[in-house]
Amino acid sequence: MKQYYLIRDGKTNEFDPCNNPNADINNNDSVLVYAASEADALSLAAAYDRDDLQPDNMACTVCGQTHVCIRSNLPDVGASIRLHRIASGQTQTELAETIGATQQQVSWWESGRNEPGAYAIIKIAAALGIDPGDLLK
């Protein structure tokens, strides 16, 4: 599950910008990162330090406000699963039964709370009648 991390003076902490709207978080000493793990956050922050990434505006899925942060440009697999599932006319329960998962797992994948592994992506793609790469675009 992706979340916000505040990296300041080389230290990483989970951070909730929704409850800290006035925090001075994007300056020369700190940066707000949206990532799946602390390790990913540190990698993104290193790219930011090299000027490979710039902060951008991101609409928060929690509070609806816009937070300026750096984030991975990796595909949103959950949104892709949801899009293709709906296009195929399947419910979460139907997809789950077809691939041997639970409806809750499908829900978590679609919401970004959890990400499917490679084998699950292959099964999901087969159930949706698409190429696995289509879920990663």
Q: Output the domain CATH number for residue 92.
A: 1.10.260.40
The secondary structure of residue 27, as a DSSP letter, is B
- Tens of pLDDT, residue by residue over 61-83, are 667 777 777 765 555 788 889 88
Enumerate residues 6+ apart whose C-beta is below 8 A from 100.
123
Highest average pLDDT, of 23-27, 37-41, 87-91, comes from: 87-91
DSSP β-bridge partners for residue 67: 58
Sign, Cα dihedral of 117, 137, 108, 12: positive
| Average confidence (pLDDT) over 52-60 | 68
pLDDT at 28: 59
Q: Which domain-ending residue is among 34, 52, 71?
A: 71
| Average confidence (pLDDT) over 118-122 | 91
Do 56 and 95 reside in the same domain of the chain? no
Kindly report the average pLDDT of the chain as a whole number. 79
Q: Using CA atoms, how far apart are residues 72 and 48, in angstroms rounded to an integer?
A: 11
Supply the pTM of this predicted model.
0.51
Q: Using CA atoms, how far apart are residues 95 and 77, in angstroms rounded to an integer?
A: 15
- Tens of pLDDT, residue by residue over 3-33, are 777 777 767 778 777 777 666 565 556 777 7
Q: Which domain-ending residue is among 42, 71, 100?
A: 71
Q: What percent of the chain has pLDDT over 70?
A: 77
Give the residue from 45, 109, 52 showing the smallest Cα distance to 81.
109
Stronger pLDDT, 54 or 109, i.e. the higher one: 109
Q: How many domains does the chain have?
A: 2
Do 89 and 53 reside in the same domain of the chain? no
Enumerate residues 6+ apart whose C-beta is below 8 A from 19.
none
Q: Which domain-ending residue is among 50, 71, 92?
A: 71
In which domain, by residue range, is 90 found? Answer: 77-136
Do 57 and 99 reside in the same domain of the chain? no
pLDDT at 129: 94
Do 9 and 66 reside in the same domain of the chain? yes
